[in-house]
Amino acid sequence: MATAQNWNYKVVSLTPAADIWGRIKEDKAQQLLDELGRQGWELTGILQPYGQHAPTAYLKRPA
């Protein structure tokens, strides 16, 4: 019988990758996500709720 995988989760605002109007600068977003990937985090989704200036990234990695 296989054992269940345990996960750690991380929620990150992409505000550091946005300009003053909340528009995402792709190069800064990629740098931020690349750094998180080097730390073992896997992007599972991005959501930008109505009224927020920058999206929120949801990540996971094995515990």
Number of domains within the chain: 1
- Is pLDDT above 90 for 58? yes
Q: Structural domain of residue 54, as residue ranges?
A: 7-62
Could you tell me if residue 18 is inside a domain? yes
| pLDDT for residue 41 | 98
pTM, full prediction: 0.80
Say if CB 61 and CB 7 are below 8 A apart.
yes
Amino acid at the residue 18: A
Could you tell me if residue 17 is inside a domain? yes
Say if CB 14 and CB 63 are below 8 A apart.
no
Q: What average pLDDT is seen over the chain?
A: 88
Could you tell me if residue 13 is inside a domain? yes
Could you tell me if residue 2 is inside a domain? no
Say if CB 15 and CB 55 are below 8 A apart.
no
Could you tell me if residue 54 is inside a domain? yes
Strand partners, 57: 12, 46
